[in-house]
Structure 1
Amino acid sequence: MNTLISPYFAEVTDPRVTGRCSHLLSDILLMGLCTYLTGGSDYQDMHLFGLERGSQLGDLLSLPNGIPSEDTFERVFKSINPDELESCLRSYGHSILSDLSEKQIVIDGKKQRGVSPTTRGNKGLYLLNVWVSENRFCIAQEKVDDKSNEITAIPQVLEDIDIEGSVVSIDAMGTQREIAELIVEKKGHYLLALKANQKSLFEDVECAFKVHSGLDTYETVDAGHGRIETRKCSILPANQYLLEENLQTWKNLETIIRIEATREIQGKVTTQIRYYISDEKETKAAYFNSIVRGHWSIENQLHWHLDITFKEDACRARAGYASQNLSVLRKMALHIISEQKDKLSIKKRLYKAALDTQYLRKLLKI
């Protein structure tokens, strides 16, 4: 019997020698996914899941030679071509989100600290994640090479996905002229964070907001957990306030944005000012405020759950391609568990799936 995910796993080539395998690749992949759906985190947990639950899922798992060992899980996941498993993630995402038009696509990097705890920067395993904020789903990932950085990896990601009609938001590392041009060429829109790494444009935008406070502003106040946070978004039309050289340099630049965030915690007040650029000619500051907030959703709705809920930073799977491949399974599991309409938290859903085989079947939609 097929699960929701079975057709996508079928795209993955078995890296082992044909005719010398005791266990089916489809069984190994599905048990790996189910391990994350039931709160497990490593190869031992995958083996234990098979021992304890394999017989209850006999219509899903063939298991011709019993349960794979921990070593078998490790050998397979370190050997699978990560491009193929990442392609499963993209195909799965596109099947759910057949049209990304008018969606916000967030691109942001995350380092797996457990895989490379003593390295700095992009050395070790550093993945670019592609996140659809409205649907809370990671539709793609791209490994950043050790001798490279996000600037070279972002165009590769953009080439692999359809961004027509979408708003692509990227942090300051990705604020590059070539990246803005590529987004526009692919008929998407950009919202790029602006810092001093783009000195001329940054100083120009900073000066513009000193001259004018904004043609439109939007303010929000959030209070809770002992803190009060006030956010004020202001926007200006780029063609009226920026130097011509910057307008010519940055493709279709239409709007500059200033976000002033003030946070008060136990009487202590801190203020942070951030700037952004966009090719959209939108006159309402509230719109850009929502896009900026949507960008940060990748931190608390994806990266936080990968680290805290799925213990990604504690993962020590360093051999071969294991860390990349296991990251794909975690992201699939997070989406599946997040899609449930019950009133349980994600943590409680994982616990329930560990206790209740019928609930696990519901997660797999079989």
Structure 2
Amino acid sequence: ILLDRLGNLDGVVITADALHTIAAQATAIVARGGHYLFTVKTNQSGLRNRIGSQGWSHRTPGYLLREKAHGRTSTWEATVALAPARIDFPHAAQTIRLLRGRAEHGSGEKTGEQVFAITSLPPHLAGARELAKLLRGHWAIENRLHWVRDTAYREDASQVRTGHGPHVMASIRNLALNIVRLAGHTNITATLRALDHHPEIVRQLTGL
């Protein structure tokens, strides 16, 4: 697996979306000396329900950020709790509830969502502020990746929609984009266009 190629992870925090919220992934990261911060969604419904039942409405938020930009006000509210044994996830130290909200200045429209996450980071290494920043940083990268996938690969127009097909195709696109970036290319669309005309360049990028 990819983690085997990363080697020692001392001092490293691996953030990942819900697709990678798997016990084996958590165990592998901690075994290499690192920590994880995983988003928990309905694909792990049991884990999500156990986190969701921690009485969040009675807990005091540990971090609140409000930003005004681009004609809207965005809010981030993070609440953190110790992970009890019943959470039943390897090396879980804390659970997080993040409330994200957005209010459009012009229309007055308001939207919001509740996101749960789990981490092996103990409180003395990361509190609500640090965990919220890690999650925001991950989503910023993820949003950038999704934008490129849609513009370069027209992902939203894909007809692959059943079974594991969408996840497999997303993983393949991510792999291709990461190879291009690791090779030092920043204009993804232009690079992919060049690869269409000169497929032999792929051998140079991958070292095959």
Distance 1:328 1:174 in 2: 17
**1:21-72 CA-partner distances (Å, limit 9, x unpaired):** xxxxxxxxxxxxxxxxxxxxxxxxxxxxxxxxxxxxxxxxxxxxxxxxxxxx
Q: 1:226 to 1:176 in 2, by over 3 A?
A: same
Alignment partner, residue 3 of structure 2: 158
1:263 to 102, 106, 116: 102
If asked which structure has higher relative contact order (CA below 8 Å, sep 6+), I would say 1
Distance 2:119 2:176 in 1: 35
Q: State the number of aligned residues.
A: 167
Report the TM-score when normalising by structure 2.
0.68
How far does residue 225 in structure 1 lie from its aligned partner after superposition? Answer: 1.8
How far does residue 223 in structure 1 lie from its aligned partner after superposition? Answer: 1.6
Alpha-carbon RMSD across the aligned residues, in angstroms, is 2.9
How far does residue 178 in structure 1 lie from its aligned partner after superposition? Answer: 1.3
For 1:230, give the aligned amino acid.
T
1:222 to 67, 72, 84: 67
Alignment partner, residue 45 of structure 2: 199
* Contact kept? 2:56, 2:97, Cα under 8 Å: no
Unmatched tracts of structure 1, length 5 or more: 1-155, 315-322, 338-345, 351-366
Alignment partner, residue 298 of structure 1: 141
Larger Rg: 1
How far does residue 179 in structure 1 lie from its aligned partner after superposition? Answer: 1.2
1:278 to 119, 140, 149: 119
**1:247-297 CA-partner distances (Å, limit 9, x unpaired):** xx3222111101001111221111100000001112521100111011112
Distance 1:291 1:179 in 2: 18
How far does residue 211 in structure 1 lie from its aligned partner after superposition? Answer: 5.7
Alignment partner, residue 56 of structure 2: 210
Q: 1:180 to 1:298 in 2, by over 3 A?
A: same
* Structure 1 consecutive aligned stretches of length 4 or more whose deviation exceeds 6 Å: 323-326
**1:204-239 CA-partner distances (Å, limit 9, x unpaired):** 21121336324x511111222222111101111113
For 1:181, give the aligned amino acid.
T
Q: 1:170 aligned to 2:21?
A: no
Distance 1:192 1:328 in 2: 21
Distance 2:74 2:142 in 1: 18
For 2:118, give the aligned amino acid.
I
SS at match of 2:43: coil
1:1-366 equivalences under 5 Å are 156-162=1-7, 163-210=9-56, 212-214=58-60, 217-239=62-84, 244-246=85-87, 249-265=88-104, 266-282=107-123, 284-305=127-148, 308=151, 311-313=152-154, 327=177, 330-332=180-182, 335=184, 337=186
Q: 1:225 to 1:212 in 2, by over 3 A?
A: same
Distance 2:50 2:81 in 1: 12
For 1:218, give the aligned amino acid.
Y
Distance 2:112 2:146 in 1: 25
**1:165-215 CA-partner distances (Å, limit 9, x unpaired):** 21111111211111111111111101011123323322221121336324x
Q: 1:173 to 1:324 in 2, by over 3 A?
A: closer
For 2:82, give the aligned amino acid.
P
How far does residue 331 in structure 1 lie from its aligned partner after superposition? Answer: 1.5
Distance 2:48 2:176 in 1: 39
Q: 1:251 to 1:324 in 2, by over 3 A?
A: closer
State the percentage of identical aligned residues.
Answer: 26
**1:139-166 CA-partner distances (Å, limit 9, x unpaired):** xxxxxxxxxxxxxxxxx22222133321
Report the TM-score when normalising by structure 1.
0.41
